[in-house]
């Protein structure tokens, strides 16, 4: 949004630097797939050096049992949160969709997110697109983290509920990644129920079978999300107005950081060449 001139060039440089650092951090540390999970499973702990593999001192025992069985052989996703000695391994739909739309993830990672959603369709879509997060917090985790919030009981509201408003963002990501048929499939699932159910805010239960117990009806964002999805499917060329392609100038800096992090190049980073269109 800034005009680049003598007065703003320093600010633009600072923004680009921050974006490059953000891209590097997200792509390097927040991404998990079966290969990464297996790497974490074999981590050594209490490593303290710039060359440490386990930079955040994550204990392998933190890998939840559900993830070991759930992570597919194909695809991956960006985890919910990362801090020293703690990783939130839940899948958050909104963040992963916008990582695709904004090109925060790499092309390979974006393809991996779409592959995971396709592989785990019954968990993330089922009877109503789309789960806001997976899995839900249950039992002691629910009591401790939500404070026993009755609105956020397992598989309800923000704790694993299904939110139709996510449909248009999913459609946008699908179009960007050349998965229009997947968007059509999700819209068809929603279309069977939304009007009959009076356009509710969210749905409950693991598979999204019930209208949310505190769900408001005739919600604008539910209706708008559905209509936007229908229009995007009818005119997929319009989707390009809403998503961002990879910024190769920023990516060059990000690639340099990834190379240094992996130890492939310590002093000088070779120039990045963007792929041919």
User: DSSP string of 134-183?
Assistant: ES---HHHHHHHHSS-GGG-TTBTTBT-B-GGGHHHHHHHHHHTT-HHHH
pLDDT for res 12: 86
C-alpha distances out from residue 262 to 29, 156, 242, 259, Å: 12, 41, 34, 5
In this prediction, the residues of the chain whose per-residue pLDDT falls under 50 are: 264-273, 275-277
pLDDT for res 276: 47
Rounded-to-integer distance, Cα 186 and Cα 170, Å = 9
Decide: 27 and 77 in contact? Cβ < 8 Å: no
The SS3 of residue 203 is: strand
Decide: 132 and 92 in contact? Cβ < 8 Å: yes
pLDDT for res 2: 77
Q: pLDDT tens digits for 165-200?
A: 999 999 999 999 999 999 999 999 999 999 999 999
pLDDT for res 246: 81
């Amino acid at each position: 949004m800034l005009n680049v001139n003598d007065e703003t060039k320093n600010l633009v440089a600072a923004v680009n630097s921050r974006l490059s650092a953000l891209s590097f951090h997200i792509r390097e540390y927040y991404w998990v797939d079966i290969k990464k999970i297996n790497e974490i499973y074999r981590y050594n702990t209490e490593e303290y050096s710039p060359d440490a593999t386990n930079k955040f001192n994550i204990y392998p025992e933190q890998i939840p049992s559900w993830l070991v069985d759930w992570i597919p052989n194909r695809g991956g996703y960006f985890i919910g949160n990362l801090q020293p000695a703690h990783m939130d391994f839940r899948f958050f739909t909104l963040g992963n969709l916008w990582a695709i739309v904004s090109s925060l993830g790499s092309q390979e990672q974006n393809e991996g997110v779409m592959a995971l959603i396709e592989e785990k369709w019954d968990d993330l879509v089922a009877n109503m697109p789309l789960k806001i997060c997976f899995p839900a917090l249950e039992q002691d985790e629910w009591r401790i983290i939500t404070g026993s919030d009755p609105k956020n009981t397992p598989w309800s509201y923000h704790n694993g509920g299904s939110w139709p408003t996510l449909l248009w963002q999913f459609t946008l990501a699908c179009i960007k990644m050349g998965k229009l048929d997947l968007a059509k499939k999700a819209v068809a699932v929603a279309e069977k129920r939304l009007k009959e159910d009076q356009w509710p805010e969210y749905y409950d239960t693991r598979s999204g079978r019930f209208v949310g117990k505190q769900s408001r009806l005739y919600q604008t964002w539910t209706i708008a999300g559905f209509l936007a999805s229908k229009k995007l499917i009818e005119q997929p060329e319009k989707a390009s107005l809403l998503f961002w392609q990879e910024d190769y100038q920023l990516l060059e800096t990000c690639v340099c950081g990834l190379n240094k992090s992996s130890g492939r190049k310590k002093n000088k980073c070779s120039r990045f060449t963007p792929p041919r269109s």
